[in-house]
Homo-oligomer: A and B are copies of this chain.
């Protein structure tokens, strides 16, 4: 990239040393300590549940079950779709920056792989612990929930993208998973809310968690990395891989842990419809806000997904197909609007640097999705759901048998507030921890640059080197001629 860029690189490398992005000790140390802790804790706590244990063949005979009665067959296809969303969806969506694609997809991979282990334990203690044996018994549903839990942290990563070190991300993930498990326990168990696709517990929590961290870690001189904050043509195409896999598999996300049968079926239909509407309105608003009506890839990559986020909680409800369409319709508008108006406003007035705009894609649509579901729940009735259908959908059994639907709606709204509070307060505290000068985060002028944490192939030099060499050669030659003239003159 020429003399200029070599100079810039050299400066960057120097500042890297100044700011100490040297993570040769801290990153391996954190990885090893935590991974060994996982081995020990898995050894103490985690076992297969009865459907995954070799004893199942006897269990099956005793309970007169057939092969298909294993929950595996009802959940596994959805699980794999969710898995793709976590690793390819989130990972590739974050490759859009021109010089941070390795960090986008690579750190996403690292923290998701670590996070799901910790999530199996944290969620296991809250939801799958057998009081008698003290063991956590896991099956396919635990894997799905672990992936869900990780999604919350990856959303937070979206707000921090390019501005933190991998060690900091491991800390964000450790605390994020922990907070998630607690808020999820409060929302789903104590408040007895329904939240199949996690508008509240995943998107609202994850979005505000990331925003709060980012707010605490505000960098006044981030403009020094402005040359790296943006996309190039091919990085935008890579990001579309992420967008599309998220978009396509969102019906699986919202239906993965809903009730067998009509629950999964309905959640798929609602999400499919809501997402379709988001795309059309996001395109409309994107075009409307450009002076020549051109589309902006940022909106297409993100706002098109807002319908899926907002349907997270109510996907399993009888919101009706047109209800889903209306939700998607408005979410596409609101989210695109957020990218055009709100993000720049927040950056200026609130000093909130939100790299991927998670505010517009997760925080706000997640929160709205929570409140929409509260309204839908409040109006649910026997006539629409059937008596048994209402009980099944909202799991109104045992101590909750007598809860009225308007009460349920109130609890759903309360749950949304709990998720937001956990995100904001938890994020603020984690942000303060991350301000300690020990984490190897990049300097203001080398944010959004893979150079800091990755051994990079020498692409541009490679491509342009021959041109430069040839130019230098020719210029030298003419310089010689010119100078020889000059010297002749002088004589």
For residues 244 through 298 of chain A, which have their beta carbon under 8 Å from a beta carbon of chain B?
244-245, 247-249, 251-252, 260-262, 264-266, 268-269, 272-273, 275-281, 283-285, 287-288, 290-297
Interface SS of chain A: helix
**Distance to closest chain B CB from A491 (angstroms):** 11
The verdict on A125 contacting chain B, using a C-beta distance below 8 Å, is no
Chain B residue contacts of A5, Cβ below 8 A: 466
**Distance to closest chain B CB from A416 (angstroms):** 23
Chain B residue contacts of A68, Cβ below 8 A: 68, 73-74
For residues 7 through 27 of chain A, which have their beta carbon under 8 Å from a beta carbon of chain B?
16, 21-27
Known A88-B241, A237-B105; judge A249-B462 contact (CB<8 A).
no
Q: Are B388 and A109 in contact (CB under 8 A)?
A: no
CA–CA, A419 to B48, complex, Å? 31
CA–CA, A435 to B117, complex, Å? 48
CA–CA, A143 to B458, complex, Å? 42
Stretch touching chain B among A368-376, A401-409, A474-482: A474-482
Chain B residue contacts of A251, Cβ below 8 A: 80
Q: Are B268 and A457 in contact (CB under 8 A)?
A: no
Q: Are A48 and B321 in contact (CB under 8 A)?
A: yes
Known A67-B74, A241-B241; judge A53-B467 contact (CB<8 A).
no
Chain B residue contacts of A325, Cβ below 8 A: 38-39, 42, 117
Q: Are B321 and A466 in contact (CB under 8 A)?
A: no
Q: Are B385 and A42 in contact (CB under 8 A)?
A: no
Chain B residue contacts of A132, Cβ below 8 A: none
Known A51-B265, A53-B318; judge A467-B464 contact (CB<8 A).
yes
Q: Are B287 and A249 in contact (CB under 8 A)?
A: no
Stretch touching chain B among A209-217, A389-397, A423-431: A389-397
For residues 110 through 125 of chain A, which have their beta carbon under 8 Å from a beta carbon of chain B?
110, 113-114, 116-117, 120
CA–CA, A410 to B466, complex, Å? 60
Q: Which of A26, A116, A454 has the most CB of B within 10 A?
A: A454
